[in-house]
Copies of this chain bind each other. A is one copy, B any other.
């Protein structure tokens, strides 16, 4: 269909000012946050209701126009790139919290609400949504990628908190999955199927999330080690001891170095584990004592800890600032973040191998890991096509090694475009079942084509 006709017809569905073809806006919707191949959409639309999303999808399916959903656009794997042009469906105006029921520990929100906004809203009731992927992500995007982040080791991933969804199917039909009960064995678990479906099976227009009680107390620790082996051994011992660590992050020496340079701090420039514990005050104190003992047994160089809120913030500062410090240390360069997860006991070898390969390549790579889950990322800076090819080679090695030891090609960032080529290797015969699901939910493949499941477009 011609672009002018598409735009004209969309203006019969939405108020004309919410059907945008302004070049700047198209460019903002051409790529995600990481380095992605860019592609311009033909048009960006801003629905303000489920009904409007339904009419857009019905129109898109009838006219075989590709639809790429997007909100905060913090995707790192190209999920939001409109590879085939068409409609960029911007959900940022679906940004209302519709219902908050503290007595049921649940909240109902639209997909454009970000998780920091949600937490600000519910905090006064002593509850919180504990999934913390960073990047001020939207709830819809978090569900679409089954995001997780630093607190997953204790609290689980986004999917563990989604009780119910409203979804617009490609035909425009609106369905509801799940219920307000905290568990169910009724029907197939469509709610969970939509978690991590990356906008390829429909558009999430309403989410019902379970909340947790804010812990009474918290404590934090920073624990440097002289090498990856001893740092990750400590983590394995901690998890196996049944200590309910709330956050457990690894940051490599290189990253600490750029943080010190950027912030003027003097953190020991070593492989460092950052810990947080949640619970009641005596429980948290006991967790901290056990963690310190295990850390010293594994050869920790130091064990700095505190339960004071300001001091906790200071202890975690290097972790929080790592990405921005790395960007500052690599002026003018682009970066790609890769993400894998491996069985916990394989962390030492996987992390060491990735760091060695980066060192040998001559490229600057910075490693951070949600190591309590066996999940880690490396952000690599590069310049020009030769270096880009090197980054791709490094990431390819990292992913294929993770798969060879029983891991996964993505722990939390999702497949998007860049991991598509590993789906056959990772999933084998079960990929065919995924294709059947995709084809039976979206027979005309208008939903986010070219992402998540290869070979269906």
Contacts and interface: CB of A to CB of B under 8 A. Distances in A.
Interface of A: 101-106, 126-127, 145-148, 152, 156-157, 159-160, 167, 169, 173-177, 179-190, 192-193, 195-197, 212-216, 236, 239-244, 279-287, 290, 340-346, 373-375, 402, 405-415, 419, 422-423, 426-431, 433-434, 436-441, 452-453
Given A176-B429, A179-B426, A189-B193, 12 more contacts: A174-B429, A179-B341, A181-B374, A182-B375, A187-B427, A188-B434, A188-B452, A213-B240, A279-B279, A283-B286, A433-B441, A440-B440
A430 B373 contact: no
Question: How many copies of the shown chain assemble into the complex?
Answer: 2
Contact of A184 (B101, B106, B410): B410
B193 A192 contact: yes
A290 B413 CA distance: 39
A287 B434 CA distance: 44
Given A101-B345, A175-B430, A410-B186, A240 B440 contact: no
Contacts of A127: 240
A233 to B, nearest CB: 10
Contact of A180 (B146, B180, B407, B411): B407
Contacts of A145: 185
Given A213-B242, A430-B176, A188 B408 contact: no
A167 B239 CA distance: 30
A430 B190 contact: yes
Contacts of A427: 176-177, 186-187
A388 to B, nearest CB: 23
A357 to B, nearest CB: 20
A452 B437 CA distance: 18
Contacts of A408: 179, 181, 183-186
Contacts of A186: 408-410, 414-415, 419, 422-423, 426-427
A425 to B, nearest CB: 11
Contacts of A182: 341, 343-344, 373-375
A413 B240 contact: no
B185 A411 contact: yes
A236 B426 contact: no
Nearest to A243: B213
A200 to B, nearest CB: 9
A413 to B, nearest CB: 6
Contacts of A373: 181-183
Contacts of A374: 181-182
Which of A236, A283, A286, A438 has most chain B Cβ within 10 Å?
Answer: A283
Given A103-B345, A188-B196, A279-B279, A181 B242 contact: no
Contacts of A430: 167, 175-177, 187, 190
B436 A440 contact: yes
B192 A189 contact: yes
A33 to B, nearest CB: 16
A409 B179 CA distance: 10
A179 B101 contact: no
Contacts of A281: 286
Nearest to A179: B408
13 contacts: A103-B344, A104-B346, A105-B239, A105-B240, A126-B240, A146-B189, A152-B183, A157-B183, A180-B343, A185-B408, A186-B410, A279-B279, A281-B286
Determine which residue in A179, A346, A414, A453 has the highest number of CB atoms from chain B within 10 A of its CB, and name it.
A179
A344 B240 contact: no
A173 to B, nearest CB: 6
Contacts of A167: 430
Given A283-B287, A343-B101, A423 B187 contact: yes
Contacts of A157: 183
Contact of A148 (B177, B183, B188, B411): B183
* Chain B CB within 10 A, most for which of A182, A280, A341, A411: A182
B345 A406 contact: no
A270 to B, nearest CB: 24
A196 B280 CA distance: 35
Contacts of A341: 179, 181-184
